[in-house]
Every structure is written in C-alpha cells, then in structure tokens.
C-alpha cells in the first residue's frame, strides 16, 4: 500500500513540473523535506543554499517550493519580473486576516489588484496626501515630547512603545481623522497593537500543516486559524467602531481616507 501511494505521488509530482527544476535536497515520500526543516528556517535555508547554490527546490508535502537566496535573484523576482511572480499560494492565516485574500498584499494580480493599488497610492500614499499630513505628523511628535516631559520625568520610558503610540495617532488621523490620548489609555492601545501585530507576523510566517496538507485543515492542528481569527476580531472591533462613529456623525464633512472609502462603497 505504501509503495502504491509513493509511486502515485512521484507520478503526480513529475506531471506538475513543466521545466527542469533547480537542484535540491531529497525528501521522504508524502512529507517531502518537511521533517528536516527544524524551527529556524532562515538558518536551514542558508545551509541548503551553501550546498545547492543560490536557487534550489524542496518539497513540502506535495507542494514544490523554490528558494532564492542571493540579492541578484531576489531583485529579478521582486522587481524585474514582479508581475510574473506576483501570484502566490495564500496561507490560511493570510486568508483569514484579509477576508479570503481581498487586500492589496494577497489579492491575485489583475484588474482588482490594480484598482486597489490605484486607490491606496492615489488617496493614501501620494505626495500630496503625505505633504498634507506634514503638520499633523509634526503636531503628534510635539504632543509625544510634551507628554514625556510633563508626565514621565523620573520614570522609565519604553521608546518602542511610545513611538508605536505616536505612529498610531498619525495613521488614525490619516485614516479617519481621530487619535487617542498619549496617556494611560493611549499607551495601553499601543502595547496591545504591538502585541497583536507581532503575534500576527509570527502566525503568517509559521509553517502550517494545514497549508501543506489541506486535507487536515479542518483539524487546525497548530491552532493558527483560531489565533488569527482572534486577532482579526480585535482589529475589526476598532475599525467598526470608527466606521460607526463616522456613519452616525451629523454634518461630518471630513475628507479623510475612511470618508473616501464610504463614498466609494455607496457608488
């Protein structure tokens, strides 16, 4: 039985390869190289790059993965031929946090992605938008300095936490024209946001058995889907609150990014 499964897996793998693949380590039937990766992927990939060169392949389950580990190849992938490599397999964690890949980071390249990019660059990151927020950024930095000077003399100051709170204020003002106080309330939100973002980055980067073996996805063995849904609910609570306040506002003439999205949704 195992021999039949192994043979069918090899046949399927050979049919999926349309060109000569790069060299790479041998794996085991069904699981590929997965048992040998370990927990420090960057170190393992570096070791394999020293053996097989700047580009090599390895099988994770029934998925063929190609690793590039040189600046010139990375430049060719992400810049010179970016549209060719734009589409990728979306992990379960990414699908959860982006509502089934409906964002600019994970949406497949095409008309929808170009529209999202046009909105993001034109309305959020254009030179005109950034120049218009110069006074806002300057004011928030002054508020941070004033808060430290007035309330935190003689106390330990977490610079990372403080800078995160300041950045949140700036981004919130750009998005929906509101910010939180830099006192205890603001600090707690900054701490929670840093914690949630750090946890989200770990979940997005953690190899998930449910991605490698989709038949096991309903089990959520590592709990990645459950944890990502918890983070999504936390983010949505903040966003929905801002949307509700804006839609319930009377004679609100703010023309920030949120107002633009609401008007776009209504057209």
pLDDT tens profile 239-265: 888 788 777 766 656 667 777 788 777
φ, ψ dihedrals at 108, nearest 5°: -60, 145
DSSP string for residues in 51-119: HH-SEEEEEETTEEEEEE-SHHHHHIIIIITTTTT---PPPHHHHHHTTTT-STTTSPTTHHHHHHHHH
Q: What is the value of pTM for the model shown?
A: 0.72
Give burial (CB, 10 Å; 0-12/13-18/19+) of 73.
Answer: middle
Q: What is the dihedral of CA 201, 236, 119, 76, to 10 degrees?
A: 10
In 3D space, the residue among 124, 46, 96, 115 whose CA is nearest the CA of residue 210 turns out to be: 96
Q: What is the share, in percent, of the chain residues with pLDDT greater than 90?
A: 19
- pLDDT higher for 225 or 135? 225
For residue range 1-10, list pLDDT tens digits in order. 666 555 566 6
What's the start-to-end Cα distance of the chain, in Å? 59
Q: What is the mean pLDDT of residues 46-65?
A: 90
Check residue 181 and give its pLDDT. Answer: 43
User: What are the tens digits of pLDDT across the range 95-138?
Assistant: 999 999 888 888 888 898 998 888 888 877 778 777 877 887 88
pLDDT of 192 > 50? The answer is yes
């Amino acid at each position: 039985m195992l021999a039949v499964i192994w043979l069918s897996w090899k046949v399927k793998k050979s049919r999926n390869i349309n060109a000569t693949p790069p060299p790479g380590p041998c794996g085991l039937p069904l699981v590929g190289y997965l048992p040998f990766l370990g927990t420090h992927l960057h170190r393992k990939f570096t070791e394999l790059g020293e053996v097989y060169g700047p580009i090599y392949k390895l099988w994770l389950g029934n998925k063929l993965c190609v690793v590039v580990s040189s600046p010139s190849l990375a430049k060719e992938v992400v810049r010179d031929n970016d549209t060719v490599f734009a589409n990728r397999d979306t992990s379960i964690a990414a699908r959860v946090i982006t509502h089934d890949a409906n964002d600019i980071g994970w949406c497949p390249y095409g008309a929808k992605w170009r529209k999202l990019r046009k909105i993001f660059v034109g309305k959020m990151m254009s030179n005109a938008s950034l120049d218009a927020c110069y006074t806002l950024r300057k004011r928030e930095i002054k508020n941070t300095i004033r808060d430290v000077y007035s309330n935190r003399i003689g106390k330990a100051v977490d610079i990372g936490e403080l800078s995160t709170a300041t950045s949140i204020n700036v981004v919130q003002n750009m998005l929906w024209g509101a910010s939180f106080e830099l006192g205890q309330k603001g600090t707690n939100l900054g701490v929670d946001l840093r914690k949630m973002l750090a946890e989200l980055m770990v979940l997005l980067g953690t190899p998930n058995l449910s991605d490698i073996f989709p038949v096991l996805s309903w089990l959520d063995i590592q709990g990645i889907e459950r944890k990502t849904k918890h983070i999504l609910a936390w983010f949505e609570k903040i966003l929905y609150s801002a949307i509700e306040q804006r839609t319930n506002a009377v004679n609100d003439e703010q023309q920030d990014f949120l107002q633009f999205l609401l008007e776009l949704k209504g057209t």
